[in-house]
Amino acid sequence: MAMRIEALTRYPVKGLSGEILDSVELKPGQGFPCDRQYGFARPDSGFDPANPKPLPKTKFYMLARDATLALLKAEFNDKTSELTLTSSTASGQFNISTDAGKREASNFLQSYLSLPASELPQLYDASPHRFTDVSVDSTEMMNAVSIINTDSVDAFARDIGQEVDPNRFRGNIHLSGLTPFTELDRVGEHIIIGAARLKIVRRTKRCPATEVDLNTAERNIKTPKMLLKHYNHMDMGVYAQVIEGGTISAGDIVEFL
């Protein structure tokens, strides 16, 4: 069975919901377009958009600590810079290219998370800086693309006897047709998708954010613990760097060099 792309997803705001794409243009060294471009930082984060430096993910509002973010739907229009946030009880649209729009979005999140008045989130962007979890390791890793083998997720689900949504792992590229977990052994290898070429650079070690059910916000799978129990590691998916650019689309065939 041929390997192929099952889905493409971007996460414009760190910790918030993703957006499914039909296709995307990858550029060398630039990562997945509009992915983790924004982040809601905690008030004491120390982030300086005028001099952006990577910070630990604990400095931001994200699923590992704020599980109810799973129920907040985010939609971003990268042409108008309009961010729409929708909960079960409220919705707001914010032009986050402006300071006023960022403050309004921060106020919305503060209300949604029932944060005290003294704890106002700070919405930041500092392009080309990205708020990826591995940004603290290097600029190259900050711009890495996250790849999930859905066959590995299916095998994990069978082994733990529980349904597992691949979106729980918040990858940019979902691919199928690859023997479960063999992607973890292919670090250093190159893959071809259409005209694009990527190099697998690291296995993805999973954190408590993946314990959260994205439909209910419940922590209903001890994902890192279960991965360790069944496979003696806590890895699901790999990071890859874009070596040669090109447009990739859902349904495209994926080949290893």
Segment 163-189, tens digit of pLDDT: 999 999 999 999 999 999 999 999 999
Q: pLDDT band at 105, cuts 50/70/90?
A: very high
Q: pLDDT band at 3, cuts 50/70/90?
A: very high
User: Which phi and psi angles does 241 have, rounded to 5°?
Assistant: -105, 140
Of 150, 95, 158, 154, whose CA–CA distance to 125 is shortest? 95
How many Cβ atoms from other residues are within 10 Å of residue 247's Cβ? 13
pLDDT of residue 124: 97
Digit-coded pLDDT (tens) for 118-170 = 999 999 999 999 999 898 888 889 999 999 999 999 999 999 999 999 999 99
How many Cβ atoms from other residues are within 10 Å of residue 127's Cβ? 10
Tokens for 46?
């120390």
Strand ranges for 16-170 from DSSP E:
19-21, 23-26, 38-41, 73-77, 82-86, 91-95, 122-125, 145-149
Long-range contacts of 29-32 (CB under 8 A, 24+ apart): 29/140, 29/143, 29/241, 29/242, 30/128, 30/143, 30/242, 30/245, 31/130, 31/132, 31/142, 31/143, 31/144, 31/145, 31/242, 32/145, 32/146, 32/172, 32/173
Tokens for 63?
């699923």
Checking DSSP bridges between strand 173-176 and strand 145-149, what pairing results, if any? Answer: parallel
Q: How open is the CA angle 96-101-105, to the nearest 5 degrees?
A: 90
Q: How far apart are the first and last CA of the chain?
A: 17
- Using DSSP, state whether 231 is helix, strand or coil: helix
pLDDT of residue 107: 98
Q: Read off the pLDDT of each residue in 80-94 and give the average, rounded to a whole number.
A: 97
Residue located via tokens 């600590």: 65
Digit-coded pLDDT (tens) for 206-256 = 999 999 999 999 999 999 999 999 999 999 999 999 999 999 999 999 999
Domains of the chain: 3-31+137-256 (2.40.33.20), 38-127 (no CATH)
pLDDT of residue 139: 85
String of DSSP letters for 145-159: EEEEEHHHHHHHHHH
pLDDT of residue 136: 84
